[in-house]
Structure 1
Amino acid sequence: MADVSATAARRVRSRHCHGGDGAVVDTISGLPDVILQHIFTYIPTKYAIRTSLLSKRWRRVWCDTPSLSFNSSILNDDWINQTPTGYTAPKMMHFHLKSDKKHDAPHIDKWLEFVMSRHVENMVLSFLLLKYSFPDFFYVNPSLKQLTLKYCDMSPECSVSWTSLKKLSLVRCSVSDESMAKILSGCPVLESLTLNRCHGLSYLDLSRSLRLRTVVVVERSSSVTGPKVIEAPHIHYLYLRYAQFPCTLVDVSSLTEADVDTNEVITYSDKVMNMLEKLQHVEKLTFGGNLLQVLSVAQLRGVPFPMFEVKALTLKTRIFHYVIPGIKGVLQNSHDLKKLTVHTIHCKTKPVYIYLTINLFIYPCLFNMAQLSRRSKDAVRRDIKAKRLTSLVVLVLKNTKTLENMFLVLDKQYHKFKKMIQKLSRYNKVSIALAN
């Protein structure tokens, strides 16, 4: 205990300053309780509790902090379970619990009951190795506004009533169509829904979620599949990252912005164009490099592209041959385009050979294989050159008539091509800017 006290004291002293006579002035303890409690919300609760060893005043400060954060893998069970006895805050703003111990299950019910009695507004629960099923009372909470659940089984047997919930995030959770429908019916003011690597969903029907504006669906591997069909007539923003096969969009008529890509390069299918047709009216679009490679296959096969009404287009991709036909196809069918951003940094684009299945035989797609040869001087490994960048800019300028601004977010080494890009922009009315 003495060691803990000394450590806590040193931390506080390190934030003290010296007065004119060289004496140490305690500037931290002089802060109002509300400011100290706000600071405590950014650190694990175990550190906040340690400050109670400094004085009675500090003990009162942590007890009224409207935030608790625990990780059972590094804390003693008794220590966690005794914490509520000293907690006096009438209302809790944030509660974060991470548990990976199977024997924690009996205590979690008590913890949830405790934090819900304090009208918690923001809750994050993660149960990595624990097969935990929520009790019925968990699904009835009028004060909850934000909820993030990780590694949970979402199977409510009762009616759900989260009447104040605005943001729901499910990460690696199991949830069926029936369970999701029950959850959504109990969230009348839900504004944002995130499904990250969840499984069990087939048809995501959001037609009754009248206030829902943002939907994020992420699928990392083909073994954990996201919803195959999405019906979301009221949303304004859609973020899709599928591992292999695109989903079917039934109704996204209110959509104003969409960010779409695949985590792997997939074989072209008509489902890709069917999905893009549902995005024709969207004014702000972002396409990733893997999707652009698939669109390159469609372009070379002569598949007609939908006519886009996009005004601001962002392409997140490395610059290499595999994406060029796809970019060309999109630009040629974007007659209202005003702003184009090409973002090449931190892209997860995988430059690979794409194969098409035609008449049950597998043939290489119709790229110019000489251009794609890894032995070529302009191979994918060496595509970060002026030639590639210049070719892209020329391609854009030739295939757009309404473009006003073009932004290239590039790696530092691209800046040596700044003069070259500026020279190209002189002969066009398009403003071209470089950034990193």
Structure 2
Amino acid sequence: MAAPYVHAAAHRKSSSGDRPNRARGNRPPLPLLPDDALHNIFSFLHIEDAVRTSVLSRRWRSTWTSTTHLVFDGFRPRNRDPRSLDFPSLVGRVLSQCTSPTVKKLHVTNFKYRHRYRPKLDLWLHFALGRRVEDLRLWLITDQWTRYTLPPFFYCSSWLVRLEVSWCSFRSDETIWWPCLKFLSIEDADLDDDMLGRIFTGSPVLEFLKLGRCRYVKNIIIDSTSVKDLVLIGSKNYSYSYMGKIWAPHLLSLRVSGTWSGPWLCTHIFRLDDISSLVEAELVFSGRTSLFEWMYCNLLKELIDRLCGVPKITIGSWCWKILSSLEMKGVSSLLSKCQSLILRTPISQLHLLGIAYMLRSSQCLERLVIHLTGVPRLKFLKWGIHVQEESKGSCNYDEEDFLCSRKESFQCLVTHLNQVEIIGFKANSLGSKHVLTLIKFLLGNTFTLEKMIIKADLRARNGQKRLQAILSELLAVRQNVLGYQRASKNAEIIFDFPLQLASF
């Protein structure tokens, strides 16, 4: 099988001058790479691609069988030849030929599970735990009636370090023993409070926990001193997302995402009890807009009050809408220790109200970061005619006059705020009237400002004509901003634009 390699090298020589002379050097031909190097390459491939390397060299025909990284994806396009194996048969065939005494990684993702596949899944897990797997991922595709019940031997593994499962059921009578587990992600699972407590007891070094749409979990009680990060993902179905309380006195980071909705006329979705060690919180969730406005106002007001001692807070777009409503009503909160505030939101008149609310609440704020996102298509706050009319009326105002009328209550502008970052994923978002008004206000009224960074993080590829238009828009933004008055003599304005624009 050396001929194809030689042919390819000859072709490169004829088409690229002296390039092969630089490439040859002391590098061995690909088929002569040592096994350690090959296994490192295989660790970045799906197992099907690793198997295909067997045709490249006689020596490689069985090399893939000793790989320690096995990754199977049910969504990958496959040969439609009727002789090709279906996904369960493919996984079984590969595992049966695996010769490595240990397996570091086994990932089975996007597998359309049915009850008839349960024996196969049991065998796969038995294989993984028998080979001392460290990184196990089992992401299934099914419905709430056909979840895979994890077998009894699954709950005891002395080697697991990272575990991710979805659409599985945990047996309520099993004892957990995962002494090396540090990362645990459970989504769309049947899991109750008692089993969650057993997981904490049997995982003494667990550091990261993600719970997504786990029905029957009502109270999260984390008395473990090792668990530092908690991620909660809500569901549109309130029976999944309604919880009682979160008690985690040693937790350092909390992220709440997804869609949360409580029972009708419920005053809260979950309650934060003891989170006294928390240093970072992310509220990037949304709610069902069919519920009354006051429910979500009360929810977010309660959450903000409970986060008063957290130094770093991130808030998403939907929550900003609720904060805008609180600003309309004159409701106040106090984030006494918030030093870093990150906003992921578009900037409109409505969102300026939410920004005013947080500036008024964060008296010790030192760093403000705004990630400009797209304006959602849904109408703002679909809670009823009353709120829609109130929103329309509240948005008919002059933004600059409004911010100036509130500046006396923005104590952070006078005493602490020293850095502002505004990041736009589209050039026109940075140049919008509302964004420029906010930039002008912050520059003109922040006496402690040391640095303002305006960044255009343009990820999409653009042609030459589009680059010209983008450059023109960004230059206009730069010209406008540099003309604004600065309250701080030490304020430095930094424009962070893509290299392709800077060199255009």
Equivalent positions of 1:206-225 (< 5 A) are 206=222, 208-223=223-238, 224-225=240-241
Q: Cα deviations across residues 283-322 of structure 1 (Å, max 9, x unaligned)?
A: 1211112111111111111112223322221111101011
Aligned partner of 1:49 in structure 2 is 51
Q: CA deviation at 1:386?
A: 4.2
Match of 1:100 among 112, 119, 124: 112
TM-score by length of structure 1 reads 0.84
Q: CA deviation at 1:337?
A: 1.7
Equivalent positions of 1:130-145 (< 5 A) are 130-145=146-161
Aligned partner of 1:336 in structure 2 is 364
Q: Which amino acid aligns with 1:41?
A: S
Identity %: 25
Matched, 1:288 2:288: no
Distance 1:123 1:14, change over 3 A: farther
- Higher mean C-alpha displacement, 121-130 vs 158-167: 121-130
Match of 1:17 among 5, 9, 15: 9
Match of 2:137 among 124, 130, 134: 124
Q: CA deviation at 1:354?
A: 2.9
* Whole-angstrom CA distance in 2 between matches of 1:101 and 1:242: 24
Distance 1:54 1:386, change over 3 A: closer
TM-score by length of structure 2 reads 0.73
Aligned to 1:50, the other structure's residue is in SS state: helix
Aligned partner of 1:389 in structure 2 is 435
Matched, 1:87 2:93: no
Distance 1:241 1:365, change over 3 A: farther
Q: How many residues align?
A: 415
Q: CA deviation at 1:64?
A: 1.4
RMSD of aligned alpha carbons: 3.4
Contact 2:350 2:395 in 1 (8 A): no
Aligned to 2:241, the other structure's residue is in SS state: coil
* Whole-angstrom CA distance in 2 between matches of 1:18 and 1:71: 37
Contact 2:372 2:429 in 1 (8 A): no
Aligned to 2:157, the other structure's residue is in SS state: coil
Q: CA deviation at 1:275?
A: 0.9
Q: CA deviation at 1:348?
A: 6.9
* Whole-angstrom CA distance in 2 between matches of 1:36 and 1:226: 49
Match of 1:320 among 317, 325, 348: 348
* Whole-angstrom CA distance in 1 between matches of 2:391 and 2:364: 29
Contact 2:105 2:136 in 1 (8 A): yes
Which aligned segments of 4 or more residues in structure 1 are displaced greater than 6 angstroms?
9-12, 19-23
Distance 1:152 1:319, change over 3 A: same
Match of 1:418 among 454, 478, 486: 478
Contact 1:337 1:400 in 2 (8 A): no
* Whole-angstrom CA distance in 2 between matches of 1:94 and 1:425: 57
* Whole-angstrom CA distance in 1 between matches of 2:371 and 2:7: 42
- Higher mean C-alpha displacement, 408-417 vs 270-279: 408-417
Distance 1:88 1:320, change over 3 A: same
Q: Which amino acid aligns with 2:393?
A: M
Equivalent positions of 1:1-400 (< 5 A) are 13=5, 17-18=9-10, 27-71=29-73, 75-76=85-86, 77-98=88-109, 99-102=111-114, 103-129=116-142, 130-206=146-222, 208-223=223-238, 224-225=240-241, 227-245=243-261, 247-264=270-287, 267=293, 268-345=296-373, 347=374, 349=376, 352-354=379-381, 362-364=386-388, 366-367=390-391, 369=393, 371=395, 385-397=431-443
Q: Which amino acid aligns with 2:92?
A: N
Q: CA deviation at 1:397?
A: 4.9
Q: Which runs of 5+ in 1 are unaligned?
A: 1-8, 374-381
Q: Cα deviations across residues 219-277 of structure 1 (Å, max 9, x unaligned)?
A: 25244416442222212221112424553211211111111133247624322111111
* Whole-angstrom CA distance in 2 between matches of 1:356 and 1:416: 39
* Whole-angstrom CA distance in 1 between matches of 2:3 and 2:448: 60
* Whole-angstrom CA distance in 2 between matches of 1:369 and 1:174: 46
Aligned to 1:251, the other structure's residue is in SS state: coil
Q: CA deviation at 1:133?
A: 0.6
Q: CA deviation at 1:433?
A: 3.9
* Whole-angstrom CA distance in 1 between matches of 2:332 and 2:3: 65
Aligned to 2:224, the other structure's residue is in SS state: coil
* Whole-angstrom CA distance in 1 between matches of 2:7 and 2:175: 51
* Whole-angstrom CA distance in 1 between matches of 2:141 and 2:369: 39
- Higher mean C-alpha displacement, 90-99 vs 393-402: 393-402
Aligned to 1:243, the other structure's residue is in SS state: strand
Distance 1:366 1:19, change over 3 A: closer
Q: Which amino acid aligns with 2:138?
A: L
Q: Cα deviations across residues 8-67 of structure 1 (Å, max 9, x unaligned)?
A: x799849953499989x9821121111111111222212222333455521342121111
Q: Which runs of 5+ in 2 are unaligned?
A: 15-19, 79-84, 262-268, 398-427, 459-469, 498-504
* Whole-angstrom CA distance in 1 between matches of 2:201 and 2:7: 50
Q: CA deviation at 1:343?
A: 0.7
- The structure where helix makes up a greater share of residues is 2
Q: Which amino acid aligns with 1:113?
A: H
- Higher mean C-alpha displacement, 47-56 vs 121-130: 47-56
